[in-house]
């Protein structure tokens, strides 16, 4: 749209030209000039560009994934045995590799079972720590190979070998040879000086003594050949007598009978305390008045063994407490 001044100027110019009687052909260029001059310069107005809706570029929210914590099971310790003064212990995590450890956790010795006879499921077990703290005694087991050479299964069995480990030097000594098949019954005297044992593969089976200081050996008792095994040893408080059990088995291996002997370790004379028992009695304890035995034959059935007592004055063996069945 033209401004007011330009309109007035254009009108006056038109009147001037009209008075001059100018022809229309001559007026046209002049009028075009005036129109262009009076026209307002067009200023382009930018057309707003419609931008696409912005994409949500915000950072994605972090998703917290909580992994379940691994279940931590307590470490199972096997064959744990503590020294007499309580300052050391020997233990294993797999029945074959042991560590001798002080009370503050320092490892004195690692010690491993060799399984030199190639047993299918071997295991090693410490069963005695000497009172002078110097020696640990081990026995071995041969798993399903631990059967008798005389009948099916086993009976009076303590282990398949005896080794002694010296804590001061780290030296391991085989005291009675490892055997496969077969097994031993054994005991160490309360003073730690003697190892008594019987090799259950022998016929007749013998009770032998090994002096742990001199390594000398002697036979204390030879069983009648009708007895297959000797075991379940018990020492008197003065270590001058020994009780033990002998087992005989019927020809068809259907019945087992047990006889209890008492052996004088000075004279090496033996006497029968009770015989032809069907209960498999195991030595428990001995005081001046009596000897206690436990009937351990039905361990899978009873929670507590039946207890039998031998009165040393009357020499009468009788049941004292009945077994408690498992719930």
Q: Which two tokens stand for residue 302?
A: 């009873």
Provide CB contacts within 8 A for 255, sequence distance 6+.
Answer: 249, 278
Q: What is the pLDDT of residue 33?
A: 54
Distances (CA, A) of 298 to 7, 320, 326: 133, 17, 11
Q: What is the pLDDT of residue 41?
A: 45
Q: Which two tokens stand for residue 69?
A: 């914590």
Exposure string over 103-136, b if 16+ CB within 10 A, otherwise e: eeeeeebebebebebebeebbbbbbbbbeeeebb
Q: What is the pLDDT of residue 276?
A: 92
Domains and CATH numbers, the chain: 78-226 (2.130.10.120)
Q: What is the pLDDT of residue 231?
A: 96
Site of tokens 């063996």 = 317
Q: What is the pLDDT of residue 141?
A: 94
What number of other Cβ atoms are within 10 A of residue 226's Cβ?
11
pLDDT tens track of the chain, all 327 residues?
444 445 444 455 544 444 444 444 555 555 555 555 554 444 454 555 555 555 555 555 545 555 555 544 457 899 999 999 999 999 999 999 999 999 999 999 999 999 999 988 899 999 999 999 999 999 999 988 778 999 888 899 999 999 999 999 999 999 999 999 999 999 999 999 999 999 999 999 999 999 999 999 999 999 999 999 999 999 999 999 999 999 999 877 778 999 999 999 999 999 999 999 998 899 999 998 999 999 866 555 444 678 999 999 999 999 888 766 656
* Cis, peptide link before residue 256, omega less than 30° from 0: no
CA dihedral sign of residues 91, 93, 95, 99? negative
Q: What is the pLDDT of residue 240?
A: 96
Site of tokens 């005297």 = 189
Element (DSSP H or E) covering residue 18: helix 4-19
Instruction: Give the separation between CA 289 and CA 227, rounded to whole angstroms.
Output: 29
Half-sphere exposure of 189 (CA within 13 A, CB side): 20
What number of other Cβ atoms are within 10 A of residue 84's Cβ?
11
Q: What share of the chain is helix, strand, coil (3-state, %, to 5)?
A: 10, 40, 50
First CA to last CA distance, the chain: 114
Q: Which two tokens stand for residue 129?
A: 């720590």
Packing angle, helices 4-19 and 24-38, rounded to 10:
170
């Amino acid at each position: 749209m033209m401004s007011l001044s330009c309109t007035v100027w254009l009108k006056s110019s038109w009147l001037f030209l009209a008075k001059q009687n100018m022809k229309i052909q001559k007026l046209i260029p002049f009028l075009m000039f005036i129109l262009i001059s009076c026209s307002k310069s067009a200023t382009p107005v930018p057309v707003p560009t419609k931008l696409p809706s912005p994409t949500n570029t915000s950072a994605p929210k972090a998703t917290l994934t909580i992994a379940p914590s691994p279940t931590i099971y307590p470490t199972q310790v096997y064959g744990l045995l503590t020294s007499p003064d309580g300052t050391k212990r020997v233990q294993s995590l797999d029945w074959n590799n042991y560590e001798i450890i002080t009370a503050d956790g320092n490892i004195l010795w690692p010690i491993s079972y060799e399984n030199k006879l190639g047993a299918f499921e071997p295991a090693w077990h410490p069963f005695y720590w000497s009172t002078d703290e110097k020696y640990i005694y081990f026995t071995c087991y041969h798993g399903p190979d631990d059967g008798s050479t005389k009948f099916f299964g086993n009976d009076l069995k303590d282990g398949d070998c005896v080794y002694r480990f010296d804590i001061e030097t780290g030296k391991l000594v085989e005291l009675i040879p490892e055997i496969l098949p077969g097994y031993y019954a054994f005991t160490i005297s309360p003073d730690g000086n003697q190892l008594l044992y019987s090799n259950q593969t022998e016929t007749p089976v013998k009770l032998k003594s090994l002096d742990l200081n001199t390594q000398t050996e002697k036979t204390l008792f030879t069983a009648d050949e009708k007895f297959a095994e000797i075991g379940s040893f018990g020492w008197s408080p003065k270590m001058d007598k020994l009780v033990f059990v002998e087992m005989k088995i019927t020809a068809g291996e259907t019945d087992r009978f047990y006889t209890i002997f008492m052996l004088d370790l000075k004279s090496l004379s033996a006497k029968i305390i009770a015989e032809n028992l069907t209960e498999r009695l195991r030595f428990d304890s001995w005081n001046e008045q009596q000897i206690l035995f436990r009937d351990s034959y039905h361990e899978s059935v009873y929670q507590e063994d039946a207890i039998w007592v031998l009165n040393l004055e009357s020499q009468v063996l009788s049941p004292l407490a009945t077994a408690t069945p498992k719930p």
